[in-house]
Structures are given as C-alpha cells and as structure tokens.
C-alpha cells in the first residue's frame, strides 16, 4: 500500500477510535490514580489499608453511571470536597491540564462501562 493510501486509511479510521484507544487517559491514570484506585480501577490500591474512606471503585457501573462527565471532571480537578466527597480524593488542578483531565474522564468511562453499551 502506498503512503498516501495508508494516510487516508488512518484518517478515516481515527474518528472511529473510541475512548478505549485513548492511551493518554490510561497512562495518566496509571501514573496518578492507581495507588489509591487500584491498577484495575476497582478501588483497591496500595494506599487503601491506610485510608478511612475507600476510593471509589471505578469499575462499579451503576455508581459511575450516576455521575455526569462534568461531575467526574470536577472531582478530578478540584478534589473530593468539590462534590461533597472525602478530601482523601486529592485535587489535580495543579498537576493536570483540562485536556488531561478530559482524557481521564474518558478512561474512567472505559473502566466503568466498557462492554455495557
């Protein structure tokens, strides 16, 4: 296949790429979130035994579907307190850009709801 065709193919495949292919969100999650929320996102990170409030199980479809993307964005950016949750959920507005937080919200939707659509 020539170069031009490959490019055309990639271009037309891109819009089909769903959240699941957004590696940025996953990478960020693996970097910043798993110590509390767990490698699988199930709420059992290594910090959990020291924590009074358990991190949200991000694979809990029912709970997670009860949140809007805006809620998720807000809690990541401003911390648990912003949505009347525990302060043990830190705020990330100093570390992550809005775009990065958007990717994380996308990845959370993969964790909670993959295969449920």
Beta carbon nearer to ligand HEC, 89 or 110: 89
- Phi then psi dihedrals of residue 105, to 5 deg: -60, -45
Q: Which of 22, 26, 57, 104 binds ligand HEC (CB under 6 A)?
A: 104
Count residues near ligand HEC (CB under 6 A).
25
Nearest distance from C-beta of residue 107 to ligand HEC, angstroms: 8
- Within residues 24-83, the interface with ligand HEC by CB under 6 A covers 32-33, 35-37, 47, 51, 53, 55-56, 67, 71-72, 75-76, 80, 83
Can you read off the two tokens belonging to residue 74?
A: 């807000």
Q: How far apart are CA 41 and CA 20, in angstroms?
A: 15
Beta carbon nearer to ligand HEC, 16 or 95: 95
Nearest distance from C-beta of residue 37 to ligand HEC, angstroms: 5
Handedness of CA 100, 105, 108, 114 (dihedral sign): negative
The separation between the first and the last C-alpha atoms of the chain, rounded to the nearest angstrom, is 35
Cβ burial 45-80 (10 Å sphere, 16+ → b, else e): beeeeeeeeebbbbbeeeebeebeeeebbbbbbebb
Catalog residues that contact ligand HEC under the rule CB under 6 A.
32-33, 35-37, 47, 51, 53, 55-56, 67, 71-72, 75-76, 80, 83, 85-86, 88-90, 92, 104, 108
């Amino acid at each position: 296949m020539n170069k031009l065709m490959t490019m055309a193919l990639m271009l037309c495949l891109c819009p089909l790429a769903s959240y699941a292919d957004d590696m940025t969100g996953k990478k960020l999650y693996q970097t910043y979130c798993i110590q509390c929320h767990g490698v699988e996102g199930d709420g059992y990170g290594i910090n959990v035994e020291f924590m009074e409030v358990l991190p949200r199980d991000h694979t809990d479809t029912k709970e997670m579907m009860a949140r809007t993307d805006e809620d998720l964005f807000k809690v990541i950016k401003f911390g648990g307190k912003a949505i009347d949750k525990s302060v043990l959920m830190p705020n990330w507005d100093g570390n992550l850009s809005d775009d990065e937080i958007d990717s994380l919200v996308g990845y959370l939707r993969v964790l909670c709801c993959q295969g449920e659509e």
